[in-house]
Structure 1
Amino acid sequence: MFGLGKREATATEAALTSPSPGEKSFLRSLVAVMACGAGLFSDGYINNVIGSVVTILALEYGDVWKTSNAKHYLGDIAFVGTVVGQLVFGYLSDKWSRMNSLILSTVILLIFTALSAGSYYHGDAIGMFNIMTAWRFFVGIGIGGEYPAGSVGAAESTSQMKPGTRNTWFIIFTNTMIDWGFVFGAFVPYVVAAACQNQHLSTIWRTSLGIGAVFPAVLLILRFFVKEPEDFQKHSMKHAKTPYGLVLRFYGFRLFIVSLVWFIYDFSAYSFGIYSSTILANIFDQATAPLTTVFGWNTVINLFYIPGTMLGAPVSDFLGPRYALAGGVTLQAVVGFIMAGLYNRLAQPSMVGAFAVVYGIFLSLGELGPGNNIGLIAAKTCATGVRGQYYGIAAAIGKIGAFVGTWVFPYIVAAGGNSETLSAQYPFWVSSSLCVLSAVLVLVGLPQIGQDTIAVEDAKFREYLEKNGYDTRQLGLKKGETVDSVESGEGAAVPNKTAE
């Protein structure tokens, strides 16, 4: 199924002994990776800032908000849009263009983020809530496009980086950007609330939402100057019929494992917020505290993610993404079991400092493991011609896992009955157990990923297609579509022979 044997050895040797495609200057390569991957900052920002916005809407509109249906789905509707965007743009990034797909998703994200911030009503708050929800769905579509087009483009662009650093740069401009987006999604409402002295609630939530349009606007300008990744130029199936039957035979099992691990990770992540609420409840009264206090501590909680993703990025180059993910979730499971077992002691107001530290370690290990590496694995375990769709499906299943988790975990909490301790422990017994399962799935079901995995996968897949009668000469962009992403003589992409 995975092309084992003499044929694989031949492909691997060819990929590793051939010169690195288009060895560019470090700065130009870095800009390409950043332009493709950094848009995921918007995912973190927009999905986190909505929590603060909902808090403000509840204060501003009181009983009207409580009786509206929007309180049930305004925060989650972007998940639905994201799944749609991941699937649609996964196809577009393979059959149309990596960079054009990115530009389109950025435009969608920019327009509907601005519309969300500008939502208004004429004496009908319910109408405003409904239109905001509609805009949030389209915001989700824009975010979804960043995954298959952006992350895949970033992975392909890292092929131009120095070996031994490629996974690090990918992580810094994908998952690390998401985590910083979460931090700023909490920090910006804090700053705006402080500037408004906890008054002018409409100004606070509109400004907080509107600032979310600034980053994609800057990124949109940069993306107009970035060319298609060279791997896409040479191995694209844009003008070729995609042999989906062969693709499923070759990558089906691997896609299943990647998708399942991503589902489990996002499914479990919901329970992590339980301890966040416990920490905050021991620090201040959340019902009466000023907005600056609530948003300030929310920023502190989100900062817990940063050490894990940034310090863990080089680990993925040193150990490889497969072992980094498995090691991270295993350690996270150990900490999670400890936190669940010692909940009675840790959840006391006098222990809030120790609780926060252990909780921070728990979150950091989650970023070092699956947070950093699941997207990396999805982006590098498939051939270029179908990489966007492969990644989009895996990412969409992950988001579905997050959505399912939001509905399932309340039942797990409820299983604890009247015991506050059991209600807090059960989700983490489940989550930590799933961490162990993820480690097993990764170690048993996925291959090791090296610095040249993308080149190796393309070589293996081409040989597999040829062995099954597929004409690989039709792969690649046609003459006139290929563009030299570096100056002539510095590794410009070579069109496929049939394009001439």
Structure 2
Amino acid sequence: MGNDIKNINEALDNATGKFHLKTFLTAGMGFFTDAYDLFIIGTVIAILPMVGWSLTTTDKALIGSTSLIAAVVGALTFGRLLDYLGRKAVYGLELVLLVIGAIGSALLSFKNPAVLIGWRFLLGIGIGGDYATSSVIMAEYSNIKTRGKYVGSILSMQSIGLVVSSLIALAFLLNATVIPLAYAWKILLIVGAVPPMFVIYYRRKMPEPPRYTVARGDAKKAAENLKNYTGLDVNVSGDHEKVNAPWYTLFKDRKFLITLIGTAGAWFLMDWAFYGNSIMSNDIFKFVITQTGLAGLIRSTEYSALIFTVAALPGYWLATFTLDKIGRKPIQVIGFVMLAVTYGILALFPVLDTVSHVDEFLVIYGISYFFMMFGPNVTTFVYPPEVFPVTTRGLGSGISAAGGKTGAFIGTFVDVFIIASGLSLLMTILAIFAIAATIITVLCLPEPKGRAIEEVSRESQYITTKQ
């Protein structure tokens, strides 16, 4: 590896400092909001018919899933722009779209499902952009020893968004006589615009990550940004080297293509289960509750809050703080295996999906959420920015996230219809998906633990001297 590229990368690979925390907070607040916006819509969908909206089953499916297919567009677009224009040029713009989409959804829908779907599409583009950008930027500022923890922490902010969304929704439902549901759903949506407003400025002020700048051939600017943002002082010679790995490298290099199949494929299968189950949770819990109407919605929201708090949240953070000890691949395999087991139990014993066995259902279903988080939900996010070269890292991460959100969209849209045929059918499909994802993980993905990202991504093979 060239001297300047090597020196900049090694400085960051071994660095510690407050800049890690600053980068995490700037990126992580976006993921808190992403989770809130994506999962609060399930409660909103349940409220809308109670306040005079006429919704067909297809309307409900599209309102719940449109932001996810839009996230595919956002992830691919921002991922490519991240490499083509640079990280600084686009970082923060995704949150602008998210804010506009959240406000429009709340205030400018006019009881028209098509208009609400349009605003949710814009919001989803911003969410997809956040998936492509934040993981890359955090990975490029991280060191070898704690990279998994910091990149995983960004995704794990999603756990707080999950819990907050369910608790806020529950608070409004329990106080429907104080704040009528006709206003409550609007407030629930507009809350999602508030947190990103506070971090747009800080994202726009962040300098270009030095790893990217030096890889593009500007060692002096990379050293300047490194000094200003991290306090690290590295001497560079301006030796005119760069990483020459254009976007099509991901498809021409057989190893990168296999890795891309692994990152995008595993994420696709995981997100089908995660988003389908979470956004459609009210429909799933109908199998194990007797209440209907507002009372039924309150009870299902209580169950969601319980599972998110007791099972999902600790799973996220346990994965985050053990990634650099256990490794990404073992955690992902363990998670998928346990998903296959728990979904398989619910599929083989449909009696568990009934009112008389609600406690048993909640325990097994809760275990599935724990191992989804202490497993592939965190690792599929951490993997992409670690395994692709710096000049294609945005696109590789964007394609991987797009794979995940494609699965999320299909799962959320199709699950509405699958659940109508019985919960055991859905659990059978998800168990098969978990087995397939385990095989993909074993065959296609490397182990980045304890290795520099430039080593894992084989950047040295693409270094050339700039003429």
Shorter chain as normaliser: what TM range? 0.7 to 0.9
Aligned to 1:368: 374
Structure-1 separation of matches of 2:64 and 2:345: 31
Q: Does the alignment pair 1:258 with 2:263?
A: yes
130-139 or 293-302, larger mean C-alpha shift: 293-302
Indicate if the aligned counterparts of 1:84 and 1:144 stay in contact, CA closer than 8 A: yes
Deviation of the 1:440 alpha carbon: 1.8
Q: Deviations over 1:427-470 (max 9, x none)?
A: 22232222122122211222111233313145x3232x35xxxx
2:252 to 225, 249, 254: 249
Aligned to 2:86: 97
Cα 1:173–1:240 change in 2 (3 A) is: closer
Q: CA RMSD for the aligned pairs?
A: 3.1
Aligned to 2:46: 55
Aligned to 1:109: 98
Indicate if the aligned counterparts of 1:279 and 1:352 stay in contact, CA closer than 8 A: no
Q: Deviations over 1:309-367 (max 9, x none)?
A: 112222322221112101211122122222323331x3343432232122111111011
Larger Rg, first or second structure (1 or 2): 1
Q: Does the alignment pair 1:166 with 2:157?
A: no
Aligned to 2:392: 386
One-letter amino acid of the structure 1 residue matched with residue 257 of structure 2? G
Deviation of the 1:277 alpha carbon: 4.7
One-letter amino acid of the structure 2 residue matched with residue 431 of structure 1? L
Q: How does 1:271-290 map to 2 (within 5 A)?
A: 272=277, 277=283, 279=285, 281-289=287-295
One-letter amino acid of the structure 1 residue matched with residue 319 of structure 2? G
Structure-2 separation of matches of 1:398 and 1:68: 24
2:171 to 191, 198, 203: 191
Structure-2 separation of matches of 1:194 and 1:410: 26
Q: Does the alignment pair 1:85 with 2:74?
A: yes
Deviation of the 1:131 alpha carbon: 2.6
Indicate if the aligned counterparts of 1:329 and 1:436 stay in contact, CA closer than 8 A: yes
Q: Deviations over 1:226-284 (max 9, x none)?
A: 32322222224899986344442222221122211111212344664688755555344
TM normalised by structure 2 equals 0.84
Q: Deviations over 1:27-66 (max 9, x none)?
A: 22111133134412222111111111122211001xx513
25-34 or 47-56, larger mean C-alpha shift: 25-34
Indicate if the aligned counterparts of 2:270 and 2:404 stay in contact, CA closer than 8 A: yes
2:308 to 302, 305, 323: 302
Q: Deviations over 1:55-85 (max 9, x none)?
A: 2211001xx5136974442222212221111
Q: Does the alignment pair 1:177 with 2:166?
A: no
Aligned to 1:31: 22
User: Which runs of no fewer than 5 residues in structure 2 stay unpaired?
Assistant: 219-241
Cα 1:413–1:47 change in 2 (3 A) is: closer
Counterpart secondary structure, 1:383: coil
Cα 1:151–1:270 change in 2 (3 A) is: closer
One-letter amino acid of the structure 2 residue matched with residue 56 of structure 1? I
Cα 1:58–1:94 change in 2 (3 A) is: same
33-42 or 290-299, larger mean C-alpha shift: 290-299
Cα 1:247–1:66 change in 2 (3 A) is: closer
Deviation of the 1:23 alpha carbon: 5.5
Cα 1:426–1:132 change in 2 (3 A) is: closer
Cα 1:37–1:93 change in 2 (3 A) is: farther
372-381 or 228-237, larger mean C-alpha shift: 228-237
Structure-2 separation of matches of 1:429 and 1:91: 36
Cα 1:286–1:153 change in 2 (3 A) is: farther
Indicate if the aligned counterparts of 1:276 and 1:301 stay in contact, CA closer than 8 A: no
Deviation of the 1:296 alpha carbon: 3.4
Counterpart secondary structure, 2:388: coil
TM normalised by structure 1 equals 0.79
Aligned to 1:42: 33
Q: Percent identity?
A: 25
2:123 to 133, 136, 139: 139
Deviation of the 1:22 alpha carbon: 7.4
User: Which runs of no fewer than 5 residues in structure 1 stay unpaired?
Assistant: 1-9, 417-422, 467-471, 475-497
Structure-2 separation of matches of 1:275 and 1:220: 31
Structure-1 separation of matches of 2:7 and 2:33: 36
Indicate if the aligned counterparts of 1:155 and 1:379 stay in contact, CA closer than 8 A: yes
